[in-house]
Amino acid sequence: MKMMKSWIAAIGMMGLLPLALAETPAAPLVNPADAKSHIGEMASVCGKVVDVKVGKYGLVGRGKVVTFYLDQPEASQVFNFVAFGSKEGGPQEAVTAYQGKSVCVSGKITETSGVPFIMAADRTQIKVQEEKVSK
């Protein structure tokens, strides 16, 4: 009887193995201008950081909010993401890390005042893209 229970457990585990090994599908890549069509979805939005704004106030344990605008500056923004500086470097560290660079930020696209954005509370959500060198 003990042997039968072991076999049943082993067969059940083997049936679940494909689910355990399945990869999570990658978030779709979205252009900043198209992000408004993906509100509420998980995605990776890729573009160039062209403008940055450091908030006046911060959040306890996080520091000051830094807003990064992709492809269009604040005045004509199409998408932005929000992040925080490191505890050591403050908001300026985050500005230096991303300003003027091409990045992809992953997360749930939400909106405020009609502008889509991603809250990147965890900086692992932001990936700097390597610049292509032309010959």
Please tell me the pTM assigned to this model. Answer: 0.77
Burial class (CB in 10 A: 0-12, 13-18, 19+), 54: middle
Q: What is the pLDDT of residue 14?
A: 52
Quote the pLDDT of residue 17.
45
Q: What pLDDT sits at residue 87?
A: 76
pLDDT, one tens digit per residue, over 4-63 is: 454 454 454 555 545 444 445 667 899 999 999 999 999 999 999 999 999 887 777 778
Report pLDDT for 9. Answer: 47
CATH domain 25-128 topology: OB fold (Dihydrolipoamide Acetyltransferase, E2P) (2.40.50)
Boundaries of every domain in the chain: 25-128
CA triplet 103, 109, 110: central angle to 5 degrees? 130
